[in-house]
Structure 1
Amino acid sequence: MIYTKQEWYTPAEVAVHNRASDCWVSLNGKVFDLTPWLVEQFKVCKCTKTCSCAVKNWFCGDDCVEYCPCFKRGYAYCDAKRLAMTILAYAGKDISHWFKGDEWVRYLHPVTGLSTPYQIHGHGPRQPVVPSTMWRPLQKPWWLDEGLVVGKATAKTRPIRIINTLTGATVTLEVCSEETIFQIMMRYLPHNSHMLSYSWRYLGRGLCLTKSLADNGVPDERDRLSAVALPENMHIPALLIYYNDDLTEDPHRDDCFCHDLACMLNESQKCGPIKQ
């Protein structure tokens, strides 16, 4: 067994990363970890802040507004922090609707008639929408930084049951439709750390570990069930794992772990056509 890095992520897995210290978003089929980017954005403005409280105490009231000298001087240096707060508000969500391809969605400004990026929370109070010396070039857009990509966002999830015929234990997992059987095995690993001694089968036939569930002939019948007004979870396909009764032991995860996707492909395994 070769332990590999996760490639595909479900919306539920992205949604749990919704804090400033752990911020993920999905965009155009990619999953970004924006935590280091947020740290840098919050450091952009280093000026001393002042608040709107009339009486300066050790605590501020609920209606306190924090002022930045940058805006008073007419500079837009704090726009980066404002963009970071906008991203943080959508942490754990999909923001593909903000973009068209690799660029922000744009609109024609009603006054200037110029093509202007459409920001869902609006521009900053000093952000110009016309040619101005206050414009700052975007040197390295975060949405084009491959170093922030942690994986791919699935187009569709599907449930699958895994039944251990030795113990009778059943585990239902939400997996990505693009994942191979080997990648599904990685999801099942916390429930059975001795999978090297099991054979995976569906309806009595062996499964090709380098192919997806659909390619292995495991159907997703939720659409058919919904078409006849039946619950989607009325029937979930089941993969049966059979103990091989051998003495092999899985290597420790720290001793055999690879981040390369090629490690998931077992070149010695020959998978023939799947019989329907």
Structure 2
Amino acid sequence: MDRTRTRTRYFTPSEVAAHNTTSDLWVSFLGKVFDLSPLVACFQGDPLLLPITECAGSDISSWFDPRTRDIRRFVDPQTNCIRYYTPRGRFIHTPPSGPRSDWDNDVGEPWWRNLQYQVGLLSEKTRWIRIVNTLTSQEQLQEVCSEETMEEILQRYLCYNSHARSYTWKFDGAILDMSATLMENGVPDDDQELDQLGLDRDTFIPAVLLHFNDDLTEG
């Protein structure tokens, strides 16, 4: 089965961080990646956007209760009422602390529960690999998500080599299963062990070799 057709796309934190403007605003929280650009456009000029725009491109998981997956709440010591915990200030779809005539309770689905804004998932662990084209000797260092299949990694690599599908991908002499992850293909992730040993990760980045399909004699 081709898992790339049914799986949600994974993003690295650096990819999320690149979307950090009001016209192109992404955030991540609780493992999800949201594109809030349409929300910002809809509420343009509203001061309640400020906490969101200030965090453009960053992870805002600290805003949420991981158990309820809702905004954190607390009991207001002055009113004894339960309120949303928003230390950066109220933001879109969070109610005011008390009754107000200008607040419409019927906001529908709050943005953090509205899956129309979700564009993918945040990788729990990224890793670096070297992709070496044995035909041209060109080498590309690439950060990928550990959850990605080789086909998804190939998709990332296409911007460097549009003919990447004309190659057979190998590691340690074995042809890689493009529907499986790096780990499932036996490409180890030694980052934790290297850190424990005090060794430089960059020195031990695994290399995936690309062999042009007309020349499979090497490796």
TM-score normalised to structure 1 length:
0.69
Identity of aligned residues (%): 42
1:167 is displaced (CA, Å) by: 1.0
TM-score normalised to structure 2 length:
0.86
Q: Which residue of 2 aligns with 1:105?
A: 72
Provide structure 1 residue ranges, at least 5 long, that are not aligned to the other structure: 44-80, 247-276
Q: 2:161 aligns with which of 159, 168, 192?
A: 192
Report SS of the residue matched to 2:86: coil
Report SS of the residue matched to 1:183: helix
In the aligned structure 2, how far is the partner of 1:144 from the partner of 1:225?
39
Q: 2:56 aligns with which of 84, 88, 91?
A: 91
Report SS of the residue matched to 1:129: coil
Q: Which residue of 1 aligns with 2:113?
A: 144
How do 1:15-94 residues align onto structure 2 when only pairs under 5 Å count? Answer: 15-42=17-44, 81-94=46-59
Structure 1 residues 244, 141: CA separation in 2 closer, same or farther (over 3 Å shift)?
same
Tell me, yes or no, if the aligned pair for 2:166 and 2:212 is still in contact at 8 Å: yes
Tell me, yes or no, if the aligned pair for 2:135 and 2:211 is still in contact at 8 Å: yes
Query: Which amino acid is 1:23 matched to?
Result: L
1:4 is displaced (CA, Å) by: 11
Q: Number of aligned pairs?
A: 206
1:163 aligns with 2:132: yes
- CA RMSD of superposed structures (Å): 2.3
Query: Which amino acid is 1:94 matched to?
Result: D
1:129 aligns with 2:131: no
In the aligned structure 2, how far is the partner of 1:148 from the partner of 1:128?
24
* Higher radius of gyration, 1 or 2: 1
1:115 aligns with 2:117: no
1:133 is displaced (CA, Å) by: 5.3
- Which structure would you say has the larger RCO, counting Cα contacts within 8 Å and 6 or more residues apart? 1
Moved over 4 A (4+): 2-6, 131-135
Deviation string, structure 1 residues 205-240 (Cα, Å, up to 9, x no partner): 111111111111111111111111111212001111
Q: Which residue of 2 aligns with 1:12?
A: 14
